[in-house]
Structure 1
Amino acid sequence: MPPTNPFVVNQLRHLIYYNLDNNLFRNALFLAGRLHAYEPRSSEAAYLVALCYLGLGQLKAAFDYSRSPGARGTHLGCSYIFAQACLGLERYAEGIAALERSRGLWSGRNHWNKHSETTRRPLPDAAAVYCLLGKLWHAHHNVEKAVEYYVEALKLNPFMWDAFLGLCDTGANIRTPNIFKMTPEMLAILSASSHDEPRSLGTLEESPPPSNVGPLQSQQNNGNSAPMAYDPFSAPTNGISGDEKVGFGSSSLASNLFRKMNGEAPVHVGMAPSVGGGGGISFEGLETPPNNSSAVDAAYMAAAPPMEPPHAPLRRTRTLQGLGYDLGADIPPRLRKTTKSRTRLAGDADDSDHQVTTRSSSTASAAGERKRTVTGQANLSSHLADPTAAPQRRSVRLFNQIRPTSTKATTASNAGIGLRESRDLRRAKATGAKGRSATASSLGRAVSGNRKPIEGIDLDGKEARIASSSSSARHASIEAAKEQEALQWLLDVFSKLGAAYFALTRYQCQEALQIFCTLPQAQRETPWVLAQMGRAYYEQANYVEAEKYFKRIKLISPSRMEDMEVYSTILWHLKNDVELAFLSHELLDMDRLSPQAWCALGNSFSLQREHDQALKCFKRATQLDPKFAYAFTLQGHEHVANEEYDKALTSYRQGISADSRHYNAWYGLGKVYEKMGKYEVAEKHFRTAAEINPTNAVLICCIGVVLEKMKNPKAALIQYSRACDLAPRSALSRFKKARVLMTLQENHMALAELRLLKDLAPDEANVHFLLGRLYKMLHQKANAIKHFTTALNLDPKAAQYIKDAMESLEDEEDEEEEDEDDMS
């Protein structure tokens, strides 16, 4: 086979990614076929073909093309596509094995904050793979493994919302505030991306020295949050993990810092990437390796004491031959003479050669006794102390008349004078050729014949460079602070959404509603949030309020299909057949292959008591989505309505197989066994449903009914009391509680419950009938007749039962009169 041309391969790859980015999957598939034909043994070509098939929804074709390199784990892209196809084809074990074999290719990758409109990373990182592994294990009914991988995905990327939803669906007990927070990995990536250029000394001085602990740990130690230990999540204790790991060796820190200060590139120590491990940074697979300058600087500053502005350089002690005084140090390396200063010195040298020679010979002995300051001026105190010393030079006297003796403030002000100001000052005090040599720029130099004065130091340029460096550092720090503030805002929003959704999965509906109400209005008025709030009211059996939220969803997003099966059930409970029929036809017009549309149509037929037609619709919904547990449950309800209990059991079990936490299916199984007279089995299924949804008063009440039928009224009373506590306005629970109290001869307690019940349901005939029986037991004939008559008026169909109770009341009265006559 002839060798392939790499330029042809690259051009085809560019074309394929161009079409993929523009959602032209069929065109991309055609080009990927050309690439695969050109390189039939290339794993990259097989990956691109499988990716196109997956985008088109053809799972079997994606499975076949990615199988060879994906199952062996030799290509990360193929393994990832192969595992996704296995998830859709229910071949979970094969997908898990493929991802585990390719662990060395994705372990340690972290692509968070590296995707933009100009850069793309087609291969997944560790968080995406962990999330897919969690889905595979969850579908494989291994909840422990699923929770483990969902947790790992959220540790690396707290914005992995799919992993959080999967974690909530497993029923794990989690603390949402400990999930949606800034992680050390995120902070490391932010610092690496926001500080690409080495910072100058001025930047190091202005930036605050961070502590040795991670930023998240320092915030927790100083703030209001609790420590990071939590269950089942725990923050990484080793700081940075993934492919963003930075080595923090103390010896390399100082060397890298000084290399950067000298304009050299820092040395990075590369180490093999490993999840959660320390070590160097790995740039494999990155388009632009991140700069670690900020991390190195921060670590160095944390270890070093705070830096101060540098002092003037100390002079080295050197003795010239023939002279008896010390000279200062050489000019610092960065303070070089400029071209202008050298030109000026050359011009001045013609006029001052004689003066320089005279000065070098006449002041040699006196200079040895007169000490000079760091700036080069004579120490006048030593001259005054010695009157026999040589008189002061005229240039120095003129200078002292203009400026005071050199101090720290004088030195600072002199350093701030520019070249133009120094030339003007030199002209003002110049009286001859000798005065021109005593310029402001030469005051800091020793005056001698063999040492040229240095003029025109570019102080303005230095200050401009420092100011520019400081400005860029401040700008970078402001941008980093803004980006971190934006991320914190996003994490706060995600934390509220996650806490509310987790409370809803635990059926703590009131708490979920309160958290949803704390969201910003723009976030609260979104279809997803409104749907969750509607579900919360639906679970509380507040169908009127739930309908309001779903109506708002239809106004905001008329084409939304998700959660419409819940809306149809709400309309079924409200007996709103017209609105329900309109909703079902509207959903079918939008998407006839949507299981939600067929569920809505089935509910519409069920409300019209056409159970066979409803069954056909629900079966169609389960064919479209075999994992749609709610459709199986509705199908079971219709079988119960037709008294087809065996078929109902099958439907409910299929719903539980699709979702083991679908409490409606467990409730349906309990109702079927209750109708079949198998009370022990019914109690077991009711209790399982109540464990999933412990706040549902109906489930607790069903347990009490079964216990009452099993001749255990005391245990039933406990369940009825729990139901009344959960739902104080539940008429059914209070009615059953009053009835079991009458069975236990607790007549006064039963009377108190029935009086409350009469206020809750004043038009309920059963309540008045039960009150009549209770007053009969309490021998209050007038009240008993009153409530029997009210019950008769409210329910004429039950007239025979009510009349029998009234006649029995008269018969008891006659028996009591006969007993009194016999006694007399």
Structure 2
Amino acid sequence: MSPPSGVNAQLRHLVHYHLDNGMLENALFFAGRLHALEPRNGDAAHLLALCNLRLGRYKAAFDYAKPKNHSPHLGCAYTFAQACLGLERFEMGAQALEKARGLWAGRNHWNKHSDTSKRHMPDAAACYRLLGKLYAAHGETKKAIDYYVESLKLNPLMWDAFVDLCDIGAVVRPQNIFKITPDILASMSHVASNGHALNSFTSQDSFDQSNPFVSTPDVDPFNPTGRPGADVGLNLGGANLLSRLNGSAPISYANGSSSAYPDAETPTSNGLYRAEEDVMMGETGGPVMHDHHHTELPPRAPVRKTRMQNLSAANEEPPKMRSITTRTRFKTASEMNERTEIPGPVGQNGHKRTISGHSAREQAQQASAPPPVDPAAAPPRRSVRLLNTLSSQIRPSGSRLAAATSRDQEAKDRREMRKAKAPGAKGKAGGMSTVGRVVSGNRKPPVDHSDSMKPDSRPASVASTIIAPPKMLVPVDTSREQEALNWLLDLLLKMGSGYKYLSRFETDKALEALQSIPAPQRETPWVLAQMGKAYYERSMYTEAEKAFQRIRDKSPSHLEDMEVYSNTLWQLKKETDLSYLAHTLVDQDRLSPQAWCALGNAMSLQREHDQAIKCFSRATQLDPKFAYAFTLQGHEHIANEEFDKAMYAYRCAISADNKHYNGWYGLGHVYEKMAKYEVAEKHYRAAFAINPTNPLLAVRIGFVLDRMKKTEAALHQYEAAIRLDPRSTLARFRKAQILLKINAPDEALQELMYLKDAAPEDANVHFALARTFKRLRNRTEAVRHFTIALNLDPKAQPLIKEAMDSWEDEGAEGFSSEDDR
């Protein structure tokens, strides 16, 4: 038993209903029923693949969207590419989307999504963005950048495309991205001119004939797009008389059938051939029309025929009545001024009648003849009066205003005829011969038809006014929309500038841009997280902690970037706060890698390195692309002196994110521990190329250069680190050590006196000061600072006593307590 014809449309409706309401399992069930009915239909395959994709079943979405038994389909190609992105089959997904370029190139859905209308098929900007992600994941950075740029050209609000460009390392200019483009202006003007700027209930491109729940009035001039939704107008099945006369015979406009407008797009059920794929209705269930970039015009009036054509038309059959959906609408009063002749009934003499009842030949003769002196001198013919009587009977008479107007016109004509009579007998005789003659019982005074050719002499009927109201030209006012869009783009410009500077590790500029964001937006978790990361990169851990704590206060469920917060607490050695954060995040979502990173940092701060390694390993299992978890795991392996495992962890971090400079730094640190200084320098420089504003990387390069006996080069690196961050105590300390080596104790003393004020509790600083005063032959100050260093770090007693006993030593390097996290 075959199912009824409306089952497929009902199933599509159910699938979209459940998808829009988040009931994915129900949507998948009904999509399976639809696909069973239409196994070769691309729409059915797309819906089934889409349901599986949203449920996270990438392999099932991959199988159903793969072009096997159906023709090329945009929805299937896009869903297939998304499934390939999840399955890491990047090249296959990119090729499928490239092959379908002809289906999505040129699409633009800007300003077409609202709470009452949507698009289930992607536009060009979305496809370019997905291609960029696929090629970026595949390692083809140049292609990814090109596609991201194309996406942003079409839609400057494609935020993740901008973020990915910054993460890749491309040179972006936010001021050239976040601005109103000509396409956006044209889209806003088009929407405003069609009256959908505030209340968009239409799916602007097409409608689906197969959906029985959506009326499809086509382009009937009797059903304008401005008709209220509750008025069915002259649609098939309407309650009015003309709809009943029209019958219920279906009218097809699909493939090669007749249409009132051959230029109009042909709606089909497949998203491949129609302009759009989704059919939306307003709340009142009114018709959904196709909005073109221009206002649809009624069919043109027939061309004026010549006399010979009119004579030959008498022998032809009368024209057949056309469908009510394609007939020419009545003209309104404003349109009567046009010089367009409406075809009238053919008279007995074979001439086509005009509006006034005269034939075209008689009308031409009257136009060429001089006008009579007396307007009543030419009596109306009997056929004309009969035709006018018949027209008055057919004319809608439901309006009292129209009847009153016609009576007033007749009274006016009678008064003018009386005034035109001569007062003398001669004039009276002449007038009596032509005026007031009784013909066939018609005792009404004749009406002057000389003015019937004037468009203004005949009032517009009420029916014509109701059926075809004049199209009002609403002025396009997009100032408010442009103002709102400008505000939004300005906000994105500030946020984008901050993210761009942060991706380049220009933390000062990033903080300046982020601070310029309006306060309500600045206090959101995303902006606060960027500010916290900027402070963290500048080693301003106290400020970073405040920023992240505001995130926890305002949005306790926020998980993004919480691993940076846990690292901040690790640097501040706040064991209690870090433990509380770790347990809170684990309770909140034990399957989030951020929670396990926080727990691993808490274990590391308690010197439980093996437990910390297990936590970081769990984080990498949950997210194999979480590069920072691999880096933290490598730090713990170095603490256990497991250099091979540490090297493997750092290499995994670089594989997950090639721009993760901490992975390159970790590899350099491992080679430094293994005394392979040249290899360590290469990795340090690779990290410094990614983050050229980090003074710690410059210090590390200088340290390995110093180990390779390149003292001058090391000194230049330390000076470069001080220029990057004048507050860097480690850079100043290393510089002081180099100055002592090259026998410049006075310059070293200046650096160390700054460090004494910046870090008065650091035993290394006092030990270096004691050595400097010893070089300057200031025994008193040298002994005093040796004593302070001994009190601050009693474990260094052997080294300090050896330095005090030997006043000739030159090579003591001191001890360093800096961390490498």
Shorter-chain TM-score above 0.5 = yes
1:152-191 counterparts in 2 under 5 A?
Answer: 152-191=150-189
Counterpart for residue 240 of structure 2 = none
Counterpart for residue 698 of structure 1 = 696
CA shift at 1:145, angstroms? Answer: 1.0
Mapped to 2, the partners of 1:91 and 1:85 lie a distance apart of 8
Distance 1:450 1:733, change over 3 A: closer
Counterpart for residue 743 of structure 1 = 741
Q: Percent identity?
A: 53
Decide which moves more: 769-778 or 522-531. 769-778
Counterpart for residue 28 of structure 1 = 27
Please tell me the residue identity of whatever aligns with 2:736.
A
Distance 1:109 1:712, change over 3 A: same
Please tell me the residue identity of whatever aligns with 2:79.
I
More helix by share: 1
Counterpart for residue 356 of structure 2 = none
Please tell me the residue identity of whatever aligns with 1:630.
Y
Distance 1:645 1:351, change over 3 A: closer
Please tell me the residue identity of whatever aligns with 1:355.
K
User: Is 1:45 the counterpart of 2:109 in the alignment?
Assistant: no
Q: Structure 2 stretches of 5 or more lacking a match?
A: 197-203, 207-223, 225-258, 267-272, 280-288, 298-336, 339-366, 374-400, 428-447, 811-821
Aligned-partner SS, 1:690: helix
Counterpart for residue 306 of structure 2 = none
Among candidates 592, 602, 605, match of residue 604 of structure 1: 602
Counterpart for residue 552 of structure 1 = 550
Contact 1:12-1:35 at 8 Å conserved across structures = yes
Please tell me the residue identity of whatever aligns with 1:23.
G
Counterpart for residue 473 of structure 1 = 474
Among candidates 561, 567, 570, match of residue 569 of structure 1: 567
Counterpart for residue 10 of structure 2 = 11
Counterpart for residue 292 of structure 1 = 293
Q: Deviations over 1:72-91 (max 9, x none)?
A: 98122122121111111111
Mapped to 1, the partners of 2:586 and 2:452 lie a distance apart of 95
1:161-310 counterparts in 2 under 5 A?
Answer: 161-196=159-194, 283=275, 285=277, 288-293=289-294
Please tell me the residue identity of whatever aligns with 1:46.
A
Q: Deviations over 1:225-254 (max 9, x none)?
A: xxxxxxxxxxxxxxxxx999xxxxxxxxxx
Please tell me the residue identity of whatever aligns with 1:38.
L
Contact 2:119-2:276 at 8 Å conserved across structures = no
Distance 1:10 1:734, change over 3 A: same
Counterpart for residue 325 of structure 2 = none
Counterpart for residue 499 of structure 2 = 501
Distance 1:360 1:24, change over 3 A: farther
Mapped to 1, the partners of 2:472 and 2:808 lie a distance apart of 101
Mapped to 2, the partners of 1:362 and 1:575 lie a distance apart of 127
User: Is 1:126 the counterpart of 2:124 in the alignment?
Assistant: yes
Q: Deviations over 1:105-160 (max 9, x none)?
A: 11111112111222222111111111111111111111111111111111111111
Distance 1:165 1:811, change over 3 A: closer
Distance 1:594 1:350, change over 3 A: closer
Contact 1:632-1:654 at 8 Å conserved across structures = yes
Distance 1:104 1:49, change over 3 A: same
CA shift at 1:636, angstroms? Answer: 0.7
User: Is 1:519 the counterpart of 2:583 in the alignment?
Assistant: no
Distance 1:243 1:643, change over 3 A: farther
Mapped to 2, the partners of 1:523 and 1:537 lie a distance apart of 19
Mapped to 2, the partners of 1:566 and 1:450 lie a distance apart of 92
Counterpart for residue 643 of structure 2 = 645
Mapped to 1, the partners of 2:715 and 2:128 lie a distance apart of 48
Mapped to 2, the partners of 1:750 and 1:702 lie a distance apart of 19
Contact 2:773-2:779 at 8 Å conserved across structures = yes
CA shift at 1:352, angstroms? Answer: 5.2
CA shift at 1:191, angstroms? Answer: 1.5
Mapped to 2, the partners of 1:512 and 1:567 lie a distance apart of 18
Q: Deviations over 1:18-37 (max 9, x none)?
A: 11111111111111121222
Mapped to 2, the partners of 1:359 and 1:190 lie a distance apart of 70
Query: RMSD across aligned C-alpha pairs, in angstroms?
Result: 3.8
CA shift at 1:793, angstroms? Answer: 3.2
Contact 1:524-1:530 at 8 Å conserved across structures = yes
Contact 1:341-1:456 at 8 Å conserved across structures = no
CA shift at 1:559, angstroms? Answer: 1.4
Counterpart for residue 799 of structure 1 = 797
Mapped to 2, the partners of 1:657 and 1:586 lie a distance apart of 30
Distance 1:64 1:353, change over 3 A: closer
Mapped to 2, the partners of 1:73 and 1:116 lie a distance apart of 30
Contact 2:803-2:809 at 8 Å conserved across structures = no
Contact 1:357-1:449 at 8 Å conserved across structures = no
CA shift at 1:342, angstroms? Answer: 5.3
Aligned-partner SS, 2:6: helix
Distance 1:549 1:319, change over 3 A: same
CA shift at 1:339, angstroms? Answer: 6.7
Aligned-partner SS, 1:68: coil
Mapped to 2, the partners of 1:352 and 1:20 lie a distance apart of 74
1:379-458 counterparts in 2 under 5 A?
Answer: none
Distance 1:788 1:47, change over 3 A: same
Counterpart for residue 57 of structure 1 = 56
Counterpart for residue 343 of structure 1 = 407
Please tell me the residue identity of whatever aligns with 2:552.
K
Contact 1:47-1:77 at 8 Å conserved across structures = yes
CA shift at 1:458, angstroms? Answer: 9.1
CA shift at 1:573, angstroms? Answer: 1.2
Distance 1:319 1:152, change over 3 A: same
Among candidates 97, 100, 106, match of residue 99 of structure 1: 97
Mapped to 2, the partners of 1:321 and 1:29 lie a distance apart of 80
Decide which moves more: 671-680 or 558-567. 558-567
Please tell me the residue identity of whatever aligns with 2:619.
A
Counterpart for residue 211 of structure 1 = none
Please tell me the residue identity of whatever aligns with 1:92.
F
Contact 2:451-2:457 at 8 Å conserved across structures = no
Mapped to 2, the partners of 1:654 and 1:709 lie a distance apart of 28
1:750-765 counterparts in 2 under 5 A?
Answer: 750-765=748-763
CA shift at 1:576, angstroms? Answer: 1.4
How many aligned positions are there? 619
Distance 1:73 1:786, change over 3 A: farther
Mapped to 1, the partners of 2:179 and 2:689 lie a distance apart of 31
Contact 2:62-2:83 at 8 Å conserved across structures = yes
Q: Taking structure 1 as the reference length, what is the TM-score of the superposition?
A: 0.69
Mapped to 2, the partners of 1:121 and 1:172 lie a distance apart of 31
Contact 2:721-2:731 at 8 Å conserved across structures = yes
Contact 1:66-1:81 at 8 Å conserved across structures = yes
Mapped to 2, the partners of 1:797 and 1:362 lie a distance apart of 146
CA shift at 1:792, angstroms? Answer: 3.0
Distance 1:343 1:742, change over 3 A: same
User: Is 1:654 the counterpart of 2:718 in the alignment?
Assistant: no
Please tell me the residue identity of whatever aligns with 2:81.
A
Contact 2:107-2:123 at 8 Å conserved across structures = yes
Please tell me the residue identity of whatever aligns with 1:100.
E
Contact 2:613-2:633 at 8 Å conserved across structures = yes
Mapped to 1, the partners of 2:658 and 2:294 lie a distance apart of 51
1:585-624 counterparts in 2 under 5 A?
Answer: 585-624=583-622
Decide which moves more: 554-563 or 714-723. 554-563
Mapped to 1, the partners of 2:512 and 2:759 lie a distance apart of 29
Contact 1:270-1:282 at 8 Å conserved across structures = no
CA shift at 1:685, angstroms? Answer: 0.8
Mapped to 2, the partners of 1:795 and 1:549 lie a distance apart of 34
Q: Deviations over 1:318-350 (max 9, x none)?
A: 994798xxxxxxxxxxxxx98766533532455
Please tell me the residue identity of whatever aligns with 2:12.
R
1:618-637 counterparts in 2 under 5 A?
Answer: 618-637=616-635
Aligned-partner SS, 1:609: coil
Contact 2:662-2:687 at 8 Å conserved across structures = yes
Contact 2:205-2:291 at 8 Å conserved across structures = no
Among candidates 702, 725, 728, match of residue 727 of structure 1: 725
CA shift at 1:97, angstroms? Answer: 1.3
Counterpart for residue 670 of structure 1 = 668
